[in-house]
DNA sequence: TCTGGGGTCCTAGGACCC
DNA sequence: TCTGGGGTCCTAGGACCC
C-alpha cells in the first residue's frame, strides 16, 4: 500500500504561514523574473488563472479582484518542505521525497494491519503537519503509486470543488478502502488527463479513441496501448488495474545531469552580459554537482532569443564542451563555459534566456579527493571510469561553506576575461522592492 | 537494373512530471 | 514592456561495424 502526501498550493501556503492575512485572498507566486504564475491559491484558481500564465495577462486582477502576486522565495519553500517531509516520514517505514511538495509513503506488507486504520493514519498525519508547520496537505492511499496519486487528486478536488466527488473523500482518501462499485464511480468521474503519466498530448489522443476517464483507461487493453503508444502507458494501465510496476525510490539515484538556466527579465545584448549570467549559472551548477559528490565530463551552454517575440530575429544555439577530465571544480567549468559561449555568441540579437548543463556525471570517490589543492589528478584514460579531481576541492568546499553561511554570492570566482565582475544579471530585486511596499522587512538583502 | 542482416552506440526529439 | 526551471525516460534514426 502506498500513500501520496501533497502540500496544497504549496508555495502559496508557505507564504500564508508567515502572512496569515492572505488566508482568504486570491494569491499567486511568480517565477524568477516575476514572469508567470507558478503557484495559485484556490481563490486565484477560481479567478481562472492558469498554471504558468504570464503575469502581464493577469495583472489587472490586482485591482479588480484584489489578487496578490508574490515573488518566489525558494529558500523558504525548501525549508518548509524539509519540515513537512520529516513529519510525514514518521508515519511509514519508507518514504520517497518525490518533489518539493510531495512524498510517497510505503506501507509494505501492512495492508491488512492498516486497512481499517489507513484513513485514521492519514488524518493523524495531516493534522500533525498542519499543527507543526501550518501547511495544509491532502493524503491519498492506493495499492500502486499511480492509484495513490489518483486518490490524492480526488482528495484535493473533493475539497476544492464541492460536488465533484462525495464530500467524505476530501483531504484524506483511500481508493483501496472502497467497494468495487464505488471505486468504478470515482474513477469514472476522473478525467483521463488527470492520471499520472498521461499528459495533454496522450490525453487528447486517448479521448479521440473513446478513452475519456480514468475508469476507461483502467479497463483498456494494456498491450494494445503499448503497441500504439509506449511502454510507459502500458505501465500506467497496469498500475491503474492494481499491479504495481513503479517502485518506491527511497534512496534517490544520483542525478545524471545538472542544469542551471534562466530567462532574463530584460533582454541581454552584449557578450559581457551573457558571460555574467553564464558565470553565475556555472557556479551554481557546480555547487549542486559537489553536493552530490560527482564530477562532470562535459558542459553545455545555450543562449536563445524569445520565442514569444515573433517580430524579433530568432537565434538559439547550444554547444557542448568536453572537459579534459571530469571535474566538480568551478574554475575549469567556467573556462569551458566561457569558451563555449564565445563560440556560439552572435552580435545583434536580443537574448532572452541562457543556461548551462553539466553532463556525463561520474561519481567522485572520496579517496581521490584532492584535499591539498595540488593539481595531482590522475588523467582520465579512454575506456576507463577512473577519475580524479583536476582542481582544488579544498578551495571549492571552502567557497561553498562561505556561501552557505553568509548567503549566495558572498564569494564568487571570476570567469575568464571577466575579471571577477559579479553584478547581478537579474532584475528581480527592483521588482521585489515594488511588491513588498507594505513590509520592508520582507525584502531580501543582497550580500555584497 | 540488382545491393544482407544483425548488432551497438549516439543523438535528437518527444513525451511526461512538478 | 512583460511568457519558469528544473528533471526523467523512451524511441527513432543515423553511423558504423562485421
**How far, in Å, is the CA of A227 from the C1' of nucleotide B4?**
28
Q: Report pLDDT for A98.
A: 96
Q: Do A1-177 and A258-422 come out as alike in CATH topology?
A: no
A346 Rama class: left (phi>0) / alpha (psi -120 to 50) / beta: beta
**Are A85 and A96 within 8 A, CB to CB?**
no
Strand C, CB < 7 A, residues 50-69 of A: 51-52, 54-56
Question: How many other C-beta atoms lie within 10 A of the C-beta of residue A197?
Answer: 18
CA distance A89 to A73: 24
**How far, in Å, is the CA of A280 from the C1' of nucleotide C6?**
16
Nucleic acid strand C: bases within 7 A of protein CB: 1-11
Cell numbers for A336: 569551458
**Are A217 and A198 within 8 A, CB to CB?**
yes
Q: Report pLDDT for A445.
A: 29
Kindly determine whether the C-beta of residue A234 is less than 7 Å away from any atom of nucleic acid strand B. no
CA distance A282 to A269: 20
Q: Report pLDDT for A396.
A: 73
CA distance A90 to A125: 9
Domain boundaries defined on chain A: 1-177, 258-422
Q: Report pLDDT for A400.
A: 76
Q: Which strand ranges, in their side-by-side order, compose the sheet holding A27-30?
A: A37-40, A27-30, A68-71
Q: Report pLDDT for A232.
A: 94
Residues whose CB is less than 8 angstroms from the CB of residue A410 and which lie 6 or more positions away in sequence, other chains included: A402, A403, A447
**How far, in Å, is the CA of A174 from the C1' of nucleotide B13?**
38
**How far, in Å, is the CA of A219 from the C1' of nucleotide C7?**
31
Strands A351-359 and A316-327 come out as unpaired
Nucleic acid strand B: bases within 7 A of protein CB: 14-18
**How far, in Å, is the CA of A37 from the C1' of nucleotide C9?**
27
Strand B, CB < 7 A, residues 83-122 of A: 98-102
Strand B, CB < 7 A, residues 139-158 of A: 149
Bridge partners, A258 (sequence order): A358
Measured in whole angstroms, how far is the alpha carbon of residue A160 from the centre of its chain? 23
Kindly determine whether the C-beta of residue A355 is less than 7 Å away from any atom of nucleic acid strand C. yes
The domain made up of A1-177 has a fold known as: Alpha-Beta Plaits (3.30.70)
Which nucleotide is nearest to A51 if distance is taken from CA to C1'? C4
Residue A262: name the closest of A72, A50, A7 by CA: A72
Which nucleotide is nearest to A193 if distance is taken from CA to C1'? B16
Q: Report pLDDT for A215.
A: 98
- Residue A183: φ, ψ to 5°: -65, -45
Question: How many other C-beta atoms lie within 10 A of the C-beta of residue A338?
Answer: 22
| Dihedral sign computed on CA atoms, order A7, A9, A11, A16 | negative
Strands A27-30 and A68-71 come out as parallel
CA distance A345 to A30: 30
Residue A330: name the closest of A302, A304, A358, A355 by CA: A358
Torsion of CA A221, A227, A228, A231, to 10 degrees: 90
Kindly determine whether the C-beta of residue A132 is less than 7 Å away from any atom of nucleic acid strand C. no
Which nucleotide is nearest to A312 if distance is taken from CA to C1'? C1
Q: Look up the CATH superfamily of A258-422.
A: DNA polymerase, Y-family, little finger domain (3.30.1490.100)
Average pLDDT per block of 10 residues along chain A, 448 residues long: 97 98 97 95 96 95 96 96 98 96 90 73 97 98 97 97 97 95 98 96 95 97 93 96 95 92 94 96 95 92 91 90 91 94 94 94 61 35 38 66 66 50 33 28 29
Cell numbers for A225: 496501448
Strands A102-106 and A2-7 come out as antiparallel
Strand C, CB < 7 A, residues 224-243 of A: 230-232
A48 Rama class: left (phi>0) / alpha (psi -120 to 50) / beta: left
Strand C, CB < 7 A, residues 248-287 of A: 253, 255-267, 281
Q: Which residue reads 544520483 in cell numbers?
A: A254
Which nucleotide is nearest to A226 if distance is taken from CA to C1'? C10
Q: Report pLDDT for A443.
A: 27
**How far, in Å, is the CA of A26 from the C1' of nucleotide B18?**
22
**Are A245 and A143 within 8 A, CB to CB?**
no
Cell numbers for A195: 492520471
**How far, in Å, is the CA of A173 from the C1' of nucleotide B2?**
68
Question: Per-residue DSSP letters for A209-264?
Answer: TT--BHHHHHTS-HHHHHHHT-HHHHHHHHHHTT---S----SPPPPS-EEEEEEE
Q: Report pLDDT for A286.
A: 96
CA distance A213 to A206: 9
Q: Report pLDDT for A109.
A: 72
Amino acid at each position: 500500500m502506498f500513500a501520496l502526501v501533497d502540500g496544497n498550493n504549496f508555495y502559496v501556503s508557505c507564504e500564508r504561514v508567515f502572512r496569515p492575512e492572505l488566508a482568504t485572498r486570491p494569491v499567486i507566486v511568480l517565477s524568477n523574473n516575476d514572469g508567470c504564475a507558478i503557484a495559485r491559491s484556490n481563490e486565484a484558481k477560481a479567478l481562472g488563472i492558469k498554471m504558468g500564465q504570464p503575469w502581464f495577462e493577469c495583472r489587472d486582477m490586482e485591482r479588480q479582484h484584489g489578487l496578490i502576486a508574490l515573488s518566489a522565495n525558494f529558500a523558504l519553500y525548501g525549508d518548509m518542505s524539509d519540515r513537512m517531509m520529516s513529519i510525514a516520514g514518521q508515519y511509514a517505514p519508507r518514504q520517497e521525497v518525490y518533489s518539493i511538495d510531495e512524498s510517497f509513503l510505503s506501507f509494505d506488507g501492512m495492508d491488512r494491519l492498516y486497512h481499517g486504520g489507513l484513513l485514521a493514519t492519514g488524518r493523524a498525519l495531516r493534522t500533525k503537519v498542519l499543527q507543526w508547520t501550518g501547511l495544509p496537505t491532502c493524503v491519498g492511499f492506493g495499492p500502486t503509486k499511480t492509484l495513490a496519486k489518483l486518490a490524492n487528486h480526488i482528495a484535493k478536488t473533493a475539497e476544492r470543488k464541492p460536488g465533484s466527488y462525495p464530500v467524505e473523500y476530501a483531504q484524506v482518501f483511500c481508493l483501496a478502502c472502497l467497494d468495487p462499485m464505488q471505486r468504478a464511480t470515482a474513477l469514472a468521474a476522473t478525467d483521463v488527463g488527470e492520471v499520472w503519466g498521461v499528459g495533454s498530448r496522450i490525453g487528447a489522443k486517448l479521448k479521440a479513441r473513446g478513452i475519456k476517464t480514468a475508469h476507461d483507461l483502467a479497463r483498456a487493453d494494456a498491450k494494445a496501448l503499448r503497441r500504439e503508444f509506449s511502454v510507459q502507458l502500458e505501465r500506467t494501465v497496469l498500475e491503474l488495474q492494481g499491479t504495481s510496476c513503479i517502485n518506491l525510490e527511497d534512496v534517490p539515484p544520483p542525478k545524471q545531469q545538472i542544469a542551471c538556466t534562466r530567462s532574463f527579465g530584460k533582454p541581454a545584448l552584449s557578450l559581457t552580459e551573457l558571460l555574467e549570467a553564464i558565470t553565475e549559472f556555472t557556479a551554481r551548477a557546480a555547487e549542486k554537482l559537489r553536493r552530490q559528490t560527482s564530477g562532470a565530463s562535459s558542459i553545455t551552454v545555450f543562449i536563445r532569443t524569445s520565442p514569444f517575440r515573433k517580430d524579433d530575429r530568432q537565434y538559439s544555439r547550444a554547444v557542448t564542451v568536453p572537459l579534459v577530465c571530469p571535474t566538480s571544480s568551478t574554475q575549469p567549468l567556467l573556462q569551458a563555459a566561457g569558451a563555449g559561449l564565445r563560440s556560439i555568441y552572435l552580435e545583434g540579437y536580443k537574448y532572452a534566456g541562457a543556461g548551462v548543463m553539466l553532463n556525463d556525471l561520474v561519481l567522485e570517490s572520496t579517496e581521490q579527493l584532492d584535499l591539498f589543492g595540488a593539481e595531482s589528478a590522475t588523467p582520465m584514460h579512454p575506456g576507463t571510469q577512473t577519475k580524479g579531481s583536476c582542481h582544488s576541492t579544498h578551495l571549492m568546499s571552502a567557497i561553498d561553506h562561505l556561501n552557505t553561511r553568509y548567503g549566495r554570492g558572498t564569494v564568487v570566482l571570476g570567469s575568464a576575461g571577466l575579471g571577477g565582475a559579479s553584478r547581478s544579471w537579474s532584475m528581480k530585486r527592483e521588482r521585489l522592492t515594488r511588491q513588498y511596499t507594505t513590509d520592508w522587512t520582507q525584502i531580501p538583502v543582497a550580500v555584497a
